[in-house]
Amino acid sequence: MTGTLSSVRRAASCLIALLVFGVSLEAMAGEPLAIRAARIYVGDGRVVEPGIVLITEGRISAVGTDLAIPSGMKVVEVPAASVTPGLIDANARVGSTNLIAPSRRFQSLDALRGGVDPWPPDEAPVYDGPHIHDHDPHEVDSSSPQATHREDPLHVGEEFPDEEPPLASGVLSSEMVNDQSSEVVPHTSVLDGLNLASSDFDRLVREGVTTVYVSPDPSAVIAARGAVVHTQGNLSQRVLVPLAAVKATIGPEPSYVGSRNGAPSRSGLSLYARRPNSRMGLVWVFRKAFYDAQRRQQGQEPYGADTAAPEAMAVLADVLAGQVPLRIQARLQRDILTALRLAQEFGLRFTLEDAAEAYLCLEELKTAQVPIVLGPVFEPENGRRPRMENVRTRYATFRQLLEAGIPVALSAQEYRDEDGLARQALYAMRFGVSRDDVLRAVTLWPAQMLGLEHELGTVEAGKRADLVVWDGEPFAATSRIVAVTIDGQLVVDRRE
């Protein structure tokens, strides 16, 4: 599936498209296209200046300075433009919450994700441990009777598109991704809940993001498998990798659901108080699952209570065998160290997600040579995730990881501002990373982490024609994305 789509398959899908949508056959096959620009950033450090990219059949056929553009070929030409590979977010949380008005109906779900405290202040549990967040003293739960007196210090009558619940994976109309029947669900797939028509994909592609690894949210200890998809294009060809890595989480997130021994009825989703409500319990769930998988591998029956589904253990056995990649999300230093410890215990190779406090354990990460999908870390340290556990991010993390020689890609996760991932790149440059390295961290390196470097990640002949055309230097604050192609199709065109 990750490989070249066979021409038969492509022709068939074109035919279907033709029949169903009445789209011209030529367009579906990928109209030949030439892009002429002042600079082409290949993505591996090379710059072709000035440059021309020729695209046929949805793939790059040639890149160079003095290429003859065949007559009749459609040409995209923007003065002073630069071309980069399409950006890849290797840890996107793609949802479909309404863009403008994240409506109140998600409130109970927010509660599950730690977004909104479901308990009015007078009923709040006494325990004020690490899972309970820094409360703004002026903040009043909007579901409480005091809500009418709530003063919004920043805005009134405005909606905050950015202030969606922090963990909104929102796949399938913002439902929870991970099935709540168990903490160990690697046999389920994010793809089954994925809404490819979600507005988030529109926003992502406008930001220059052409490929995303759709990550399950961290609500289960061992969660569903992610998927790699194009952000735009023909529906039948959007999915690049249907069953990608298994996601695990070390951190407080799985315990948000039904922890605290309170009646979980308010949350509306969970009918029972879930089991791991401490980091210790969470680690035990992780270890038990892999113990059982190991036993199965050895032909023994798993034993004891809380045994995961056999299908789940089969997937975990593949993880143990190195056939299915593993992702572990960990933010805090201690969680990162736990992840490293667990991986060592079971001989697992994995990719670390988020890793906000990676700068506190550089040596350990360097020794383990764990690839990291970092970020978003360049938000203000007291910034937009105020209700999460206190994470001490540092602007220097990305630079320090690079200097330590740790493979690292940048991710914007759920941030989808005007330029979510591009903005992460912008920030990285401000904090001392070269443009070349920043570009790699959002193109080639994530492609490598996803095992798609032969298909994506650079502007080279033979690769898929996922390209971004900027009207100036890429990632500069004054530059705008004027065009984006995916598989050679112009999916964003802001030329005037």
Give the sign of the dihedral formed by CA 130, CA 133, CA 134, CA 140. Answer: negative
Contacts of residue 240, defined as CB under 8 A and 6 or more positions apart, other chains included, come to 1, 2, 211, 228, 229, 230, 452, 455
Residue from 18, 67, 269, 476 in contact with another protein (CB under 8 A): 476
Residue from 359, 439, 457, 467 in contact with another protein (CB under 8 A): 359
Separation in Å, CA 103 to CA 108, 145, 317: 11, 19, 41
The rounded distance, in Å, linking the Cα atoms of 399 and 410 is 11
Phi then psi dihedrals of residue 82, to 5 deg:
-125, 150
- DSSP H or E segment with residue 254: helix 253-256
- Give residue for tokens 């990373």: 433
Q: Which stretch binds another protein (CB under 8 A): 1-9, 19-27, 116-124, 419-427?
A: 419-427
- Give residue for tokens 């201690």: 334
Query: Is 157 among the residues that bind another protein (CB under 8 A)?
Result: yes
The rounded distance, in Å, linking the Cα atoms of 389 and 251 is 9
Residue from 50, 130, 383, 462 in contact with another protein (CB under 8 A): 383
Q: How many residues bind another protein (CB under 8 A)?
A: 53
Query: Is 430 among the residues that bind another protein (CB under 8 A)?
Result: yes
Q: To the nearest whole angstrom, how small is the minimum distance from the Cβ of residue 382 to another protein?
A: 8
For residues 288 and 281, the answer to whether their CB atoms sit within 8 Å is: no
Contacts of residue 370, defined as CB under 8 A and 6 or more positions apart, other chains included, come to 340, 343, 350, 351, 352, 406
Query: Is 146 among the residues that bind another protein (CB under 8 A)?
Result: no
Q: Which stretch binds another protein (CB under 8 A): 23-31, 35-43, 48-56, 159-167?
A: 159-167
Q: To the nearest whole angstrom, how small is the minimum distance from the Cβ of residue 221 to another protein?
A: 31
Query: Is 391 among the residues that bind another protein (CB under 8 A)?
Result: no
Residue from 397, 443, 448, 458 in contact with another protein (CB under 8 A): 397
Query: Is 151 among the residues that bind another protein (CB under 8 A)?
Result: yes
Q: To the nearest whole angstrom, how small is the minimum distance from the Cβ of residue 487 to another protein?
A: 21
Which CB sits closer to another protein, 27 or 477?
477
- 426, 427, 429, 430 alpha-carbon torsion, rounded to 10°: 120
Query: Is 123 among the residues that bind another protein (CB under 8 A)?
Result: no
Residue from 395, 404, 453, 490 in contact with another protein (CB under 8 A): 395
Q: Which stretch binds another protein (CB under 8 A): 12-20, 201-209, 232-240, 325-333?
A: 201-209
For residues 75 and 36, the answer to whether their CB atoms sit within 8 Å is: yes
Query: Is 337 among the residues that bind another protein (CB under 8 A)?
Result: no
Which CB sits closer to another protein, 407 or 472?
472
Q: To the nearest whole angstrom, how small is the minimum distance from the Cβ of residue 195 to another protein?
A: 12
CB atoms within 10 A of CB 44: 15
- How remote is the C-alpha of 225 from its chain's centroid? 13
Q: To the nearest whole angstrom, how small is the minimum distance from the Cβ of residue 201 to another protein?
A: 10
Q: List residues binding another protein (CB under 8 A).
A: 98-100, 138, 148-159, 161-162, 197, 199, 202-203, 206, 359, 378-381, 383-384, 394-397, 399-400, 415, 417-418, 423, 426-427, 429-434, 476-480
